[in-house]
Amino acid sequence: MEILVTYDVATDTAAGTRRLRRVAKTCEAFGQRVQDSVFECSVNDAQYEQLKHRLTSIAKEEEDSLRFYRLLEPRERYVESFGRRPAFDLHEPLIL
């Protein structure tokens, strides 16, 4: 399944800044960054539950916000992209 993960982590303390980094690193392990606090991920059901569990264990419910959106498939039909960051196909090999 294709999902979009968005987050807003309070960074007015050193602990908040550390949480922000941990949230971003966790998201990077599951997908690609498409904006500063937005990731597109291609995961199966087990990976989705693992991602949610990891992120909710890092974030503080009183201070931070996490959102998970399931994208309709085929993705190319429902997602339009404009601007600086090009879209990558999550199913094709990425050659650097």
Number of domains in the chain: 1
Q: Which of 35, 16, 15 is nearest to 5 (CA)?
A: 35
CATH of the domain at 14: 3.30.70.240
Q: What is the pTM of this model?
A: 0.79
36 assigned to some structural domain: yes
> What pLDDT is attached to residue 64?
96
95 assigned to some structural domain: no
Q: Residue 34's domain spans which residues?
A: 2-78
Cβ-based neighbour number of residue 7 at 10 Å = 22
73 assigned to some structural domain: yes
59 assigned to some structural domain: yes
Mean of per-residue pLDDT scores for the chain: 87
22-35 residue pLDDT tens: 999 999 999 999 99
85 assigned to some structural domain: no
